[in-house]
């Protein structure tokens, strides 16, 4: 689930549910996900505080507290938030925030590859993690500048969070499909016009996905996202979709529409 559009959906969910209420307690059910803190430290940092605002950078959800410290949530390969009023918690809940109104917010991460930490804010996180600009907020000029000296494959470059933050395996494939570019093509092979088209494809794919609630099933009919799997065909030309490994990850693309030049 958690690439940029999914995290944006979670950010909106957090904003709509868990702001402005004092945190009564924090229960860490599995401290594997904590980074740079521990259950006691997290509890002391949050107890009695209120969450006041949310932000997002790439795949990171950031939440500002009333003392201007920030909570950072990253969801790894599996992850979700669940706000509820009841006892117990969803399966695979790793951290549970309990509010004074007796509601709870569960940070759920089945595979425990997510990360929960404290930070001084978005800028501090970008600095400490050496993240590239947010894929949806970067300007064309910024993108052009960043890609200027790169030589790597398009797929690898788009997925590298240190270069551009937010695209993961699924959306990197979708962007390249929409831009009709081969995932193995390298950045330095693109003309200025092609780079511009790639930028536009990133913006369009992410905006469309967010606009549809980041639910893969609701994406446009002609998107590649529906054709990830063996023996599927291209929604544009009917050719068989190919699967290759790039960066140890399955990469799907249409050999006809996305042929190399």
Residues making contact with DNA (CB under 7 A) = 1-3, 6, 30, 32, 58-59, 74, 76-77, 110-113, 129, 149-153, 156-157, 159, 161, 168-170, 186-187, 216, 228, 246-250
Q: What is the CA radius of gyration of the chain?
A: 20
**Residue of 2, 5, 133, 183 with catalytic role:** 2
The Cα–Cα gap between 60 and 241 comes to 31
- Choosing from 11, 56, 59, 155, which is the catalytic residue? 59
Rounded to the nearest whole angstrom, what is the least distance from the CB of residue 145 to DNA in the complex?
11
Of 18 and 173, the one with the shorter C-beta distance to DNA is: 173
Nearer to DNA, 26 or 158 (CB): 158
Whose Cβ is closer to DNA: residue 101's or residue 250's? Answer: 250
Nearer to DNA, 1 or 23 (CB): 1
Active-site residue, 91 included: no
Of the candidates 22, 249, 255, 256, the residue annotated as catalytic is: 249
133 is catalytic: no
For residues 71 and 47, what is the distance between their CA atoms, to the nearest angstrom? 12
In the numeric block, which tokens belong to residue 137?
């907020």
Is 249 a known active-site residue? yes
CB 10, min distance to DNA, A: 12
CB atoms within 10 A of CB 80: 20
Please state the closest distance from residue 198 (CB atom) to DNA, in A: 15
Clarify whether 90 is annotated catalytic.
no
3, 8, 129, 174: the active-site residue: 3
Choose between 43 and 76: whose C-beta lies nearer to DNA: 76
Active-site amino acid positions: 2-3, 59, 249
């Amino acid at each position: 689930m958690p690439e940029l559009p999914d995290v944006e959906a979670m950010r909106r969910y957090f904003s709509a549910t868990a702001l402005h209420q004092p945190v009564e307690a924090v229960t860490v059910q599995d401290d594997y996900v904590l980074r740079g803190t521990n259950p006691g430290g997290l509890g002391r940092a949050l107890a009695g505080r209120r969450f006041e605002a949310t932000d997002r950078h790439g795949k990171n959800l950031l939440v500002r507290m009333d003392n201007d410290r920030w909570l950072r949530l990253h969801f790894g390969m599996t992850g979700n938030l669940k706000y509820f009023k009841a006892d117990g918690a969803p399966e695979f809940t790793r951290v549970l925030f309990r509010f004074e109104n007796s509601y709870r917010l569960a940070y759920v991460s089945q595979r425990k590859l997510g990360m929960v930490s404290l930070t001084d804010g978005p800028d501090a996180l970008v600095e400490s993690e050496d993240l590239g600009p947010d894929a949806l907020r970067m300007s064309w000029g910024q993108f052009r500048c960043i890609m200027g000296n790169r030589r790597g494959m398009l797929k690898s470059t788009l997925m590298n969070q240190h270069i551009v933050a937010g695209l993961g395996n699924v959306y990197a494939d979708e962007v390249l499909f929409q831009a009709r570019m081969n995932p193995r093509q390298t950045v330095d092979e693109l003309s200025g016009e092609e780079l511009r088209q790639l930028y536009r494809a990133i913006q369009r794919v992410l905006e469309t996905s967010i606009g549809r609630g980041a639910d893969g099933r609701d994406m446009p009919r002609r998107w590649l996202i529906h054709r990830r799997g063996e023996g599927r065909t291209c929604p544009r030309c009917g050719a068989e979709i190919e699967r290759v490994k790039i960066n140890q990850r399955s990469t799907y693309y249409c050999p006809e529409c996305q042929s190399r030049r």
